[in-house]
């Protein structure tokens, strides 16, 4: 059975990886969205989501990525410092 710390490390690593993947996809979608108000005037959507919804998902997972990235660094601090030395 995994210890509680090992389980937490696994969960945090999983969340960092998935939030990065989602940020990559939403970032690419937001990159190809028509500029400015054109997306609103044309009622642009992809996979049933409009530009503002894609931006909202991108911002929320950006927050998840920052928090879980900090936790990942906390859980792996000794390994990180050994790597830098």
Domain boundaries, the chain: 10-84
Nearest-angstrom CA–CA distance, 22 and 83? 28
pLDDT in the model for residue 2:
55
pLDDT at 1: 46
**Cβ–Cβ under 8 Å, residues 26 and 54:** yes
Residue 5 has pLDDT above 80, yes or no: no
Instruction: State pTM to two decimals.
Output: 0.83
Q: pLDDT, tens digit, for every residue of 26-85?
A: 999 999 998 888 888 888 888 999 999 999 999 999 999 999 999 999 999 998 899 888
């Amino acid at each position: 059975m995994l210890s509680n710390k090992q389980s937490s490390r696994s969960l945090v690593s999983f969340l960092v990886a998935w939030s990065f993947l989602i940020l990559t996809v939403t970032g690419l979608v937001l990159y190809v969205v028509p500029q400015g108000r054109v997306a609103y005037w044309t009622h642009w959507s992809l996979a049933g989501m409009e530009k503002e919804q894609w931006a909202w998902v991108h911002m929320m997972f950006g927050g998840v990525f920052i928090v879980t990235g900090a936790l990942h660094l906390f859980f792996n601090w000794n390994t990180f410092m050994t790597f830098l030395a």
